[in-house]
Structure 1
Amino acid sequence: MQQHTYTLDHWEDRSGHRLSWKFGYRGTVGDFGSIEVVYPASRHGDRHVTEVRGDTMPATSFMGWAYGRKPSLHMGQLSVGGTGVRLKRNRWAQTRAGRALRMQAAGREYRYLATSARHSDRALIRNGVEIRTTRHGNGARKKATFTVLGPADATDLALAAVMCGVNTRNLTRAGAVRAFFNRSLSWLEIFQ
């Protein structure tokens, strides 16, 4: 099985008011050319949007309830090439495989799941292709590494890249508990 590894560097644009700050990853992914992940690319009230742009990538975006700078899976909406993608997941599953985010894009079934208890290790899987994503480093040295197994295309890479700009802690039980308590505390601040 063919294997390729690509690394994207983290970038930040902190110009202007803090609500207009942008973050993300950018780099080159072999024959597919340049790719850039931007979050939040835009804001709609308490919802943030992450976008993927690239030379050969289909326009891909994810909008969800804001959790820090990134959208979360809560009330998430994914779009690939201008077409909405239905998202499904079992919030109550006990295993990481059971908690996987399921989607169908470009006529193919995908699963996006946590591959370890750490929130930085994920995998996008479809029949014959797996893209493992690892985010590592701190500050200016932060990076996202994609290990591609199988004959991936631009849609596969765009989906894996957009999920780097989404808070996916809920794909693990510990992350879901942490997110629940953080949301609860945020809601309590409203009543003070």
Structure 2
Amino acid sequence: MQQRYTLDHWEDRSGHRLTWKFGYRGTAGEFGRIEVVYPSKRHGDRHVTEVSGDTVPATSFGGWAHGRKPSLHLGQLSVGGAGIRLKRNRWAQTRSGRALRMRVAGREYRYLATSRRHRDRALIRDGVEVRTTRHGSGARKKAIFTVLGPADGTDLALAAVMVGVNTRNLTRGGAVRAFFNRSLDWLEVFQ
């Protein structure tokens, strides 16, 4: 069983630039309306991405700000108000080894890069896989979810919130770029 859902990109650039919001929204079949908002909140150098919808649990991911999105650095995930512990091996050489691991509602999940491109990811649990791809630019930007297996609202919420997170560190090349970017940010602090 394979299902495909598309969420369209949206922007709200009203007011001061620190209050601008971005994200994806749309209808995902029987799951109903889903909306991803980033940054929904800002706390100093931390940004928060939130997911809400008709049948998906309220889900949020907060982490060190990287552009408009939170990064995996110091990341905190919450599903339905419950904090979720995140694990990853940042020194692993393979994409599978670098996967973000989490346990939600008694189920083990892995979120990993499926290609060298930073737009292709997959959320995997026993018997279910939700592949995400982002493509387009500007007003034509979209997030496409391909669901394999009997997924539920929690699966879709987790995949959707990660679309609003900078996950470049899940590939070696992205981790190297992130390291140099953070190093340059720290150098600016001392000038």
Could you say which TM-score interval applies, normalised by the shorter chain? Answer: over 0.9
Partner residue, 1:138: 137
**What TM-score do you get using the length of structure 1 for normalisation?**
0.99
* Separation of aligned partners in 2, 1:100 and 1:140: 30
* Separation of aligned partners in 1, 2:77 and 2:12: 24
Q: Shift of the alpha carbon at 1:108?
A: 0.2
Q: Shift of the alpha carbon at 1:3?
A: 0.3
RMSD: 0.4
Equivalent pairs counted in the alignment come to 191
Partner residue, 2:55: 56
Deviations 1:154-189 (A, max 9, x none): 000000000000000000000000000011111111
Q: Shift of the alpha carbon at 1:190?
A: 1.1
Partner residue, 2:120: 121
* Moved segments of 4+, more than 2 Å: none
* Separation of aligned partners in 2, 1:25 and 1:187: 31
Letter in 2 for 1:7: T
Indicate yes or no: 2:29 matched with 1:33: no
* Separation of aligned partners in 2, 1:79 and 1:55: 18
Q: Percent identity?
A: 84
Q: How does 1:2-81 map to 2 (within 5 A)?
A: 2-81=1-80
Deviations 1:62-98 (A, max 9, x none): 0000000000000000000000100000000000000
Q: How does 1:102-181 map to 2 (within 5 A)?
A: 102-181=101-180
Letter in 1 for 2:145: F
**What TM-score do you get using the length of structure 2 for normalisation?**
0.99
Q: Shift of the alpha carbon at 1:38?
A: 0.1
